[in-house]
Structure 1
Amino acid sequence: MDRNRLDLLIQKYIDRTATPAEEEALNSWYRDFSGEADPFPMTDAQEAAAGQDMHVYLTARIQRKKRPSLALFASLAAACLLGTFLYINWSKKPENTNLVANIPAAASENRFIYLPDSSKVVLHPGSKIDYQQNGSNRVVTLEGEAYFDIASHPAQPFIIHTGRVSTTVLGTSLNIKTWSTDSVSVSVISGKVQVTDARQQKTILTPNQQVVYNQHTNNIQQVKIIPASVIAWAKSDMQFQDMPYGQLAERLDRRYDVNIVFKNPALQHCPITGRFSGTESLNEVLDILSQTMGTTYTINGRTVELDGTACFNQIN
């Protein structure tokens, strides 16, 4: 299922606006994702009733908390969806078709980048990408490590060059690592890619597969992977326990290259506990924060304003 379509279905399910056909599409995706048959099959009416009961229960749980936890909503989003736009030094060359991002090795967070074609990239500190787009191709040169969630444009293949290896995709999510001149590893999270080495040998990868290419011996090894372990680095800085909202805002400032301000300064002291996958966009993160904290946000350019009461009141 297309990532944007999945995001929409999840949000509509949470908002209780999904049609029966949309709910079935989401349930079908989840069953396929788990890879297991449903051990407790339900009728359509039973599934609808269970969904309504869950919504009421979660809403009551959130309202009762004086110190709200993000763990529930963030874990749900991470499980369904599989971010980090720190200070990015984009530079444009005269042709205005080339974008370069240099990420300092000393950076404390990973960084999220929206490419002009709507693809998403999470860069590991110490990494660099050079992006070019023309009428027929989208081309990236990568040094270091990055997670890619590539927007599908069938007429414009997306090609990633890493050392002596090139990876061609149409629309997929993958992780590429090339920290040394010795090897390049390409790991597919979803979709399908073609990896071409220096000898023009082509390898097709599907989800949960990885190739490791030795650039000295031209040896290529293909193995099975657990996607969560491959991209664990992407969420390492998006897990927090009882962190004051103000401190989390400073982290998001650096990750997404924005300036977060509090209309109600007291909101900065509210503690937050949460887990994100590390691949969410700024809007996805703010949406979950707003749902859980009972707050609102507005974005004006690179300024984000948060508003709401300091913390939820205790309900007996």
Structure 2
Amino acid sequence: MNWISEWALPKIKTLFGGAREVPDNLWHKCPSCEKMIFQNDLEANLRVCPHCGHHMRLGARQRLDATFDEGWQRAELPKVPLDPLKFKDQRRYAERLKEAQAKSGMEDAVLVGHGKIEGERAVMAAFEFAFMGGSMGAGVGEALVTAARLAVLQDAPLIVFASSGGARMQEGAISLMQMPRTVIATQMVKDAGLPFIVVLCDPTTGGVTASFAMLGDIHIAEPGALIGFAGARVIEQTVREKLPEGFQRAEYLLRHGILDMVVKRGEMRATLARLIRLLHAERRPGAPAAA
């Protein structure tokens, strides 16, 4: 397979007399440069490759931990029907949901929290791509509506880390209904005069891109993130043209005016805090009144 599994691991086992089992996830291979990274180093670096800077996918809980100051709180989300259409393909939808919940420790694909970022109040919603591809069903719609209401209640900016394959097919039209619901949720925040910041992570596609994810006051993306509606192959077949190099990647979209900035993960927290201070300055406690 590679020198780690074929040579290094047997040597380690021999050294310790076979008394201990060496964990299988001790090392991780970067999907971009294919170099091996010690798992603890990778997690400490927020799952960014120290060799080539490739940004790997990060879980919702890890995103909130890395962005909020210590002491942030998780918001309780409304319960939704687990399987409204009694959908079944190769497996029952209810079974897929239970499996995803057990693996992720989440009820659905979005985690909502509130706290402070470098002392600035904020409400954040983060997608968990590992939960059925971060697909948007009724649970995700409820989470984003709840996040918007909480932001208005706390007079705080709303930040959404989007990472999704789009609508959740197992919920049919109910899933598509979440597109206008999330648009209305973002409008609630804007009507209250609060900043709405969207961070587009890899990947952000389909119905999520076609709804709230492109309605932010500020659009940020992580380096190399795939962002679009339809897949590149579908677009090429439709327009019958070869797409440019890097099409639908964050850097391409930045050059063409779709994004405001591309920010490395290690700089995201400081960037968000700076934007909140700029956009929300007049509403902070103790701030001077506008002339």
The structure that is strand-richer by fraction is 1
With structure 2 as the length reference, what TM-score do the two structures score?
Answer: 0.31
The structure that is helix-richer by fraction is 2
Structure number with greater CO (CA < 8 Å, separation at least 6) is 1
